[in-house]
Chain A
Amino acid sequence: MKTVVKTDTETATATPEFEKAALRQESRRGLFLALPAYLYLIFFFVISLFIVFIYSFATRNRFGGTDLSGWNLDSYARISEPIVRDVLFRSIWLAFLTTVICLVIAYPFAYFLSTRRVAVRNIMLVFVMIPFWTNFLVRNFAWRVILGNNGPLTNATEFVGLGSAELLFTQTAVVLGLVYGYLPFMILPLYAAIERIDRRLLEASRDLYGTGFQSFRHVLFPLSMPGVIAGSILVFVPSLGAYVTPEILGGAKTTLLGSYIVTQFLTARNWPFGAALSFVLMLVMLVTTIVYFRKGGRTL
């Protein structure tokens, strides 16, 4: 009798023990698989971000080097200087403008795409993907050729009698380049969001005597909000940190945050200040993204 009871309790506890061991082994396997990438990311993202953070409190010495002592907040204080503030506001304004223009062009396009037959739609999507994948530098350079002196655009405007359009090295050119570069980032999440919407809701809205605009305003647009937000983040963030586009299409008066940071490292040799600016840029981006995910967004 005693022994039976004993074995009963033994088997009762043995099974969870066995399962626990199996679970532990599974967990070890998972961690083992993840480990190389995990360590890589910790090294190159966590530690390096920490180094940037440390540098932002350091002091630039007379020779353009960085003294990692005498910690101070000078680099952050400089952000309120008029020159820096101008660069910051200009970057935010142009990134905002780029996002709005992309949204205005991409929304009807994404909707249009969602109303096509599946076969046609797939082909249309492929042709959106191609520029999305082709070399960003080359695509910006193409605009340099088009907008340049005696280029196709000036020739065209002169031909129509509008005079020569001198857009190169202006803010307009930079926004044009940014819109060109990031439009696919807006189209794809918008399309993903709009395509998921139940068409019957739109039909119901029309059946209940809603006008086309009212259906859009109260049904389609609110339901496509996740796509609108995802697309806006995907356009706004890289526009804010843009470097290649303003360098190629912009001029001296269109310095943006990205180029300004690069200048601090490669020419002005003020690493602490550059580090502070990059840290702020990263923080803005991180906060935006976290807010988005907190609000339940999924399509990034």
Chain B
Amino acid sequence: MSTSVEPRGWAKAALHVNGWFVYMFFYAPIVLLVIYSFSNSRNVGTWGGFTLDWYRDFFDSSNARGALSNSVKIAIFSTIISVALGTMAALSLERFTFRGKKVFDALLYLPIIIPDVTMAVMMLLFFGEFFDVLDALFGLGLRKGFWSISISHIAFNISFVSVVVRARLAGMDTDLEEAAIDLYASRWKAFRYVTFPQIVPGIAGGALLAMTLSLDDVVITQFVAGPGWTTLPVYVFGLIRKGVTPLINAVSVTMLVVSMLLVVLSIVAQRVRRSG
């Protein structure tokens, strides 16, 4: 009696067509961008023969190289800090009960759902009011630029790291941890030798996500970067607004390759997560 629920006829065809359309829609622009970055024409969307000049221009430009190195430094620094804080936060939420836990849990969602622009405004006003205070308190000699950008990136990355690590912790059997404790392992040893090896894929996934988000951010960075400090996305964004040149194609493709590499790495990490 049972009827097949699989769509048949035109419905099935429509589903297939829509599927292909979605992938076309996702990838055609990216492919075209890559193709035109090799085009020897001053006009960004016109094919004028193959050239690598735009890439050479990009690597020759000291502004672009400076922005790239700033981006990389900030991404690495903010990822390290947010992975440490985010993992600790995830552990505290998944394995402990403490006062104010619910508030903490809710606060962690805030950076994920707050619109970029609002967060940029928050950071701008915050640094306007508090940079001097922080300076006086810790004597770090903080200046707008590396520190303000990194601090902002850490602020949103902690949440993303903790979400990814928590997912891993939640899906994990606690039996092994309990067994270790029963066998007189200290809390630290149980973490170091039992929990930590199991959540490494989650931490790696979180770290790659944090790095991607840091390398992606335009609005917040633009608001908190002081004069003379720029990251690659902010630099590119400025170029686009001044007028589109094929140089931007080359920079964009370079950024694309970097983020694709990070995605592939993260997918490998996810694979380990599933089998591990």
* Chain A residues packing against B (C-beta within 8 Å): 26-31, 33-34, 36-38, 40-42, 44-49, 51-52, 55, 105-106, 108-109, 111-113, 115, 124, 126-131, 133-139, 141-146, 148-152, 180, 183, 187, 199, 202-203, 206-207, 212, 215, 237-238, 240-241, 243-244, 247-248, 257-258, 261-262, 265-266, 271, 274-275, 278-279, 281-282, 285-286, 289, 300
Contact = CB atoms under 8 A, between A and B. Distances in A.
Given A112-B16, A131-B26, A148-B44, A137 B117 contact: no
Given A30-B92, A142-B29, A51 B259 contact: no
Interface in B74-99: 84-86, 88-89, 91-93, 95-99
Contact of A129 (B45, B126, B187, B267): B267
B121 A41 contact: no
B104 A127 contact: no
A41 B158 contact: yes
A143 B36 CA distance: 12
Interface in B81-130: 84-86, 88-89, 91-93, 95-101, 104, 107-118, 120-126, 129-130
Q: Decide if the interface of chain B is mainly helix, strand, loop or mixed.
A: helix
Given A145-B44, A240-B115, A241-B118, A51 B29 contact: no
Contact of B256 (A47, A49, A135): A135
A7 B223 CA distance: 68
Given A51-B125, A207-B3, A40 B158 contact: yes
Contact of B22 (A46, A109, A206): A109
Contacts of B46: 150-151
Interface string B144-181: 00000001101100100010000000000000000000
Contacts of B222: 266
23 contacts: A27-B96, A27-B98, A31-B96, A31-B99, A34-B89, A37-B162, A44-B123, A44-B151, A45-B110, A105-B22, A127-B27, A130-B263, A135-B233, A137-B236, A141-B252, A145-B33, A145-B244, A207-B1, A240-B115, A241-B117, A244-B219, A258-B116, A281-B115
On chain B, which size bracket covers the interface? 35 or more
B45 A146 contact: yes
Contacts of B27: 127, 131
Interface in B224-276: 233, 236-237, 240-241, 244, 248-249, 252-253, 255-256, 259-260, 262-263, 266-267
Contacts of A105: 18, 21-22, 25
A132 B91 CA distance: 27
A191 B218 CA distance: 29
Contacts of A207: 1-3
Q: In this complex, which of A38, A111, A212 has the most chain B Cβ atoms within 10 angstroms of its Cβ?
A: A38
Contact of B18 (A46, A108, A139, A212): A108
B126 A47 contact: yes
B183 interface: no
Interface of B: 1-7, 11, 14-16, 18-19, 21-23, 25-27, 29-30, 32-33, 36, 43-46, 84-86, 88-89, 91-93, 95-101, 104, 107-118, 120-126, 129-130, 151-152, 154-155, 158, 162, 187, 212, 215-216, 218-219, 222-223, 233, 236-237, 240-241, 244, 248-249, 252-253, 255-256, 259-260, 262-263, 266-267
Given A105-B22, A145-B44, A48 B113 contact: no
Contacts of A47: 126, 130
Contact of A34 (B4, B93, B124, B130): B93
Contacts of A266: 222-223
Contacts of B253: 138
Q: Decide if the interface of chain A is mainly helix, strand, loop or mixed.
A: helix
Contacts of A152: 32, 45
Contacts of B158: 37, 40-41
A33 B88 contact: yes
